[in-house]
Structure 1
């Protein structure tokens, strides 16, 4: 089948998702994308922009035979359908939620704009109305994400005058399918373990989260400060994407842990990033927000042992192995890391992350789109 993929925020995990899927898919794709910045503007104008681009910029012949539309929740799908060429208005679509603006954490000085939440709901309705039969048309990266969104939607609709849309959460639930992202896995486990066996006995701690408040870096560095105060020696690599506004704790930590730091900041190439993952022993999260966690899945796939709070999507993604989790506090994290030694780190069943390999994830995405597009096999 032929899919028209619309990606209004084509950077980071959104870009990696689409490119990874296309590289492993049996389907054909036409894509329209916009650079990944100014997300509020993208949510407002991308539907109109893509509709106009379909009318003028794209060669018309290349768009023949499109069977279905795929877009992220950053697109106002209803406005796209209202403005696009008539050939696309009746096509079924899947809206894929990487994140949402109903439950995404906001800073105390940044009040939530419910207009963006309503955009999610009208996009979902537009997709549901065009889906054939019982074909799922709303995709989620985790059940945790879906359930949190539906709970928040119910609370939002209770505030709406008239309450005419109280049925919407049930409609979205019935139209939903969980389609976890794929990841690019690194070396085979035996190669990773051989590399690690050549290193010293200092525990190498890895951070891969974005440098933003919702990942709670203050808690991470507070735990490391406790380790250092207790005389525990370790190595540290702090990776992850940073933006113009970076939490102050990163600058403080760069000075405080200068003797422990091996790598600091966003890596210049994929090869350097994967090398950094293979060098580390444990990957730590202190996140207050995580709908899936592509970066931590990649780290675990590279051989890092997971050290996560028992919350968010982590139990769903990684299972209920109690060795993976601490109590979610800086003290609990410090205690957990103190008990870990390089020489006797627990063995990790790589089946934990094998199901997220792109070869498997693409099959699930392809099947969902084929069902939505009328059973087209490829």
Structure 2
């Protein structure tokens, strides 16, 4: 594996900023991926979505495994960072063997790792390989869910290119993740002359969020984060509308069902206020399974052949591997570079782990 070449490609990917929802930027990057996968011997296509196109690529198998069931790799090309982040608070830089910049860790490093591994096994016997690169993973993959379900049919195993655990361990299960939007409609009125005629949507939303916290407190192993609040307009007008996006994490489907049932049934506190709750995206809990344990053992054996020790552990964060794990497919995640700072301004990846992870992915392709 050629680390300088990998770093050059990673820099070019990072400098091509791709915020979630920026369809022109994401589509331009998707074109780059389609071209790159064709260079590596695959057949790739863009799959249209209003908020940015996804990419699906198929690489033929070779030798005795050419007709075997494919392995699937899941990745994404959107990031949480807006255009301009690179020129502002997060410039590309390499210091003491650590790469800094928006998306180096989550997860353009994973894209470069996969490309390098595919190039490394071009002359080796291996199964067919399918790749799905999602454009809206950072908001729960609402437009990619059915695509992932369809393209994962018939695969022998699924590998995610998300970041690993801090010590490099792979991820063997994930909590479920659901994002909801609470929308409140009230009634506007003059805040001083006629406040009694108004119904404050903001006050109602605040009370709804307190009620949500009380629901969450009744259950173990539930995470809840109020990510966005908007509403109202002027301080002399009773707010007529307000909304909030709330993210939940669940350890199991039963808890998820109970919490969502309670939250969606919360009544309005104020007479005349209208409260609506909509599920914006959902990733079911991917729970531990013998199939994943068996896959981890095979990956550990592949790693041992190249002098790498591979471990695995459960993860709280969610990703597209939630879906394949939930579907019962043997699934592992965390084949991206080792680093830290996902979704934070100190996002970084250890440069040397780019080649290490690419070597591991290549070993997986040759042996699984």
What is the TM-score with the length of structure 2 in the denominator?
Answer: 0.31
Higher helix share: 1
What is the TM-score with the length of structure 1 in the denominator?
Answer: 0.30
Higher strand share: 2
